[in-house]
Structure 1
Amino acid sequence: MPLALLAGCSAQPPPPLPAITVDPDRVAVAGLSSGAIMASQAHFAWSDRLRGAALVAGPPYGCAGGSLETALGPCIEASPYLPDASRLAGRVRERAAAGQLAPLAGLAGDVVYVLHGRDDAIVAPALADSVAGVYQALSDEAGGLRVEKDTDRAFPHLLPTLDSGVDCSLGGEPWLGRCDFDAAGAMMARLFGEPGKAAPAEAAGELHRFDQAPFAPAGLDPSMAEAGYLYLPPDCAAGAACGVLVAFHGCQQNADKVGESFVRDAGFNRWADVHRVAVLYPQVRSSYLPLNPKACWDWWGYTGEAYDTRDGAQLRWLAAALAALGAPMP
């Protein structure tokens, strides 16, 4: 089956999100940059429903504390100080105890893969220690939590691929780079197990465009774009039980900015065919009110104070979208 984009007429809203048969034990999240911390926020919020997170070049959970100034300082530059993983883990404990995040037992047995290129000049590579450190500080409460840190590879601030995107040594838009490293394959192997075969040269399934508006929580604006994307491998489209990977784009990597580069070329779709995993690509919109001109995911509070808890507008949107897809969300 050829890779096809099922798009509605531009004068009409995009089609609804298809429902599939979801294997509840094989749902995970991944992301780049602001998408990485969004994946971490989703993981802590719904760890009782997810199996793990793959985090590329992002800040640690809870780092900004609702402050854009803090987000742009220690959370991006690791200056004037490196975020304290123990303190941030303590905040996770408090929120979990209050029901604002999943119980810490939900992390038991999960996999967390932290990938950060040592040539990253945008988000300090030292932050990988804090990202992994938050999870490691919670390991006593989450038996069997596996945290892997991969920080010795030479690539800048982007998602490495084998042959898609820009010259790896240059970096830049669309934030995919030909780095001779298949990061998507490595991420999915950690989250869904080592594959029994290589990925095909091209994805064989379908890329669907879907309407994101129905999943907005009542009375809140999650700042989502009109349309998101869902990749369905042939087996999933045929009704087989499939896992789900939510892949969060980075800042300036949304479809309105880079077209379909991320949703087609990041490498997830080819491996989705092998792992029998649907890939959900939600999309944020850029705005100046609230201030988010680069279409970043909310990790400092532009959608409201509860942004990184179960009550946050974008996390509530995600839970509703996953439930509509067929995942066992509350």
Structure 2
Amino acid sequence: MNLPRRSMAKAGTALAVSALFATACSGDAPSAGLPALKLDAARTTVSGLSSGAYMATQVHLAYSDRIAGAALFAGGPYGCAQGSLEIALGSCLAPEAGMLPDVAALADTVRARAAGGRIAALDGLAGDAVLVMHGALDTTVGMAVSNAAAELYRELGGARVELDDGRAIAHTFPTMDKGGACDRSESPYIGQCGFDGAAALFAALYGPPPAAVGAADGELRRFDQDAYRADGKDAMLAEQGFVYVPKACAAGETCGLHIAFHGCQQNADAIGEAFVRDAGYNRWADAYGVVVLYPQTRASFAPLNPKACWDWWGYGGVDYDTRDGVQLRWLAKAAAALGAPLE
């Protein structure tokens, strides 16, 4: 998957395809709000691929007092872009030697923001599980960038960090047998890798798996994302998102919450329901008793985000990676509606 690039020549075509997809879906029944469920807020975790990994680490550090862990696939460290698209395209993708993220400086930024209350206090990281995964065939995000994400967590202290960077996987979400070729980065950015990335992240975040895991048999629901705008502000999201609710959770059992952030060009307008159905989260959600929230971005030219990436460089404003960021505030409202408040 491509994160934002300097050349935007094909952006108009991408937006046209997105518009056609939205039109094709317009005949669906109107999406409802999120269901109010019985959730154990202490079992809230996040994950993401590519720009979704950057978003996941932003959410984790902003709300580490409420979030118990994060799994980052092919992403870099918190604060890497420093509010600059130019830096995002340089140091935070596949930088040349000498342009790598400065982990010590980023750690200082995190500490200052935590001290100022812009993100959670750092003691919220104590005992949190962090999985950083990077494919050895990934040429979109450099391995050193993902390694810097692991280094930053270690520098901050408290979290249990696992780094997995030796598998023959390109810039794609690994599955056993869904999607395209594992050695290519192409839509829908889900790869047949003979490796279950969703299983790995659930095990890292929630512990050893149950003895038996079957096919997903819960309900994948659409919901109205606009209903959760904080103070009515546009969070640059699509009209509809998805939530997967295992049968046990719908029946009233206490469940956890996992928030899965797609990558650039991996939103539903671009690939339909491929990520929310085929990435492999749902059957593990059944097994672990965890609801999965799949928020969805939208492509735009103003602000400049033609590939529907999550905001990890500042297109939503200067506070984008803090508790005041418009996408983080939207997420806090959505999580609270489900039953797992973040603030």
Choose from 137, 143, 147 the match for 1:119: 137
Match of 2:289 in 1: 276
Choose from 149, 173, 177 the match for 2:163: 149
CA distance in 1, matches of 2:243, 2:207: 22
Residue 104 of structure 2 aligns with an amino acid whose one-letter code is S
Match of 1:129 in 2: 147
Q: Which runs of 5+ in 2 are unaligned?
A: 1-24
Match of 1:4 in 2: none
Q: Structure 1 residues 312, 117: closer, same or farther in 2, change over 3 A?
A: same
Match of 2:221 in 1: 208
Could you tell me how far 1:328 is from its partner in structure 2?
2.9
Choose from 126, 130, 142 the match for 1:108: 126
CA distance in 2, matches of 1:256, 1:122: 22
Residue 152 of structure 1 aligns with an amino acid whose one-letter code is G
Does the 8 A contact of 1:221 with 1:303 survive in 2?
no
Cα-to-partner distance string for 1:62-105 (whole Å, 9 max, x where unaligned): 01001100000110012351101111111000000000000001
CA distance in 2, matches of 1:160, 1:68: 28
Choose from 33, 42, 46 the match for 1:25: 42
Report the identity percentage. 56
Match of 1:168 in 2: 182
Is structure 2 residue 266 aligned with structure 1 residue 253? yes
Cα-to-partner distance string for 1:128-159 (whole Å, 9 max, x where unaligned): 221001110011xx3xx200100011110011
> TM-score, normalization: structure 1?
0.94
Q: Which runs of 5+ in 1 are unaligned?
A: 1-7
Does the 8 A contact of 1:197 with 1:274 survive in 2?
no
CA distance in 2, matches of 1:170, 1:328: 38
Residue 57 of structure 1 aligns with an amino acid whose one-letter code is A
Q: Structure 1 residues 327, 129: closer, same or farther in 2, change over 3 A?
A: same
CA distance in 1, matches of 2:77, 2:95: 11
Choose from 105, 111, 117 the match for 1:99: 117
Secondary structure of the equivalent of 1:245? strand
Residue 230 of structure 2 aligns with an amino acid whose one-letter code is P
CA distance in 1, matches of 2:29, 2:330: 22
Is structure 2 residue 33 aligned with structure 1 residue 16? yes
Match of 2:197 in 1: 183
Match of 1:89 in 2: 107
Greater helix share, structure number: 2
CA distance in 1, matches of 2:181, 2:29: 38
Secondary structure of the equivalent of 2:101? coil
Match of 1:159 in 2: 173
Q: Structure 1 residues 235, 54: closer, same or farther in 2, change over 3 A?
A: same
Secondary structure of the equivalent of 2:66? coil
Match of 1:224 in 2: 237
Does the 8 A contact of 1:118 with 1:152 survive in 2?
yes
Residue 302 of structure 2 aligns with an amino acid whose one-letter code is L
